Amino acid sequence: MVQTGMVRKIDLLGRIVIPKEIRRSLKINSGDDIEMYIENDAIVLKKYHMLDNYFSLAKGYCRTIYENIHTHCIICSKDKVVASTQEVGEVQISEKLAQIIGEGSSRLLSENQTVPLFDKISEPKYVSQYISAINSMGEIYGSIVIYSTKKALSEQECNFVDIGAVYLCGHVI
């Protein structure tokens, strides 16, 4: 446990303010869901990622994408990787990717438009990326991203990923 030295009072309604420095370092924004649980004698607050509950489904879909269109894939929440065809671990996504996901639409990026996918990880030069939002009735849960270092992605590959985003969205809500 990291000691911050910050102490806050609970108000009459049982509320507590999470200091701005902590919210910023954990990328917690207004409107984000927070999970609460008890661990030993402590109350633990954790940013809630709905897609975390569907890790095996997301991992299986990444594998399906790779087996069918032979393209690498990540499935991410609005700020971190949930599943991937390559072993990247539980890493944060880049600010640029998070911004695109926040817009809630799908986007095909060519070589001169591609964005870094990960925060603080060295990456190859991408030839093409397709970002497909996992979006239901305006609520953005994350994205499926396919990427290639060798070729431009086709419309059929992008359509395959869009179908997966709709499928995952149906399981998330």
- Per-position DSSP letters for 73-142, written without gaps between them: EEEE-SSBEEEESS---S-BBPHHHHHHHHHTS-EEEETTT----BSS---PPPSEEEEEEEEETTEEEE
Question: Residue 61 pLDDT more than 80?
Answer: yes
| Mean pLDDT for all residues in the chain | 84
Nearest to 117 by CA among 150, 94, 144: 94
Q: What is the pLDDT of residues 157-166, one digit of tens each?
A: 999 999 888 8
All structural domains of the chain with their residue ranges: 1-48, 51-172
Architecture, CATH, for domain 1-48: Ribbon (2.10)
Lowest mean pLDDT among 48-52, 55-59, 104-108, 166-170: 48-52
pLDDT at 148 (0 to 100): 93
Asked whether residue 112 carries a pLDDT value surpassing 60, the answer given is: yes
In CATH terms, the fold of domain 51-172 is Beta-Lactamase (3.30.450)
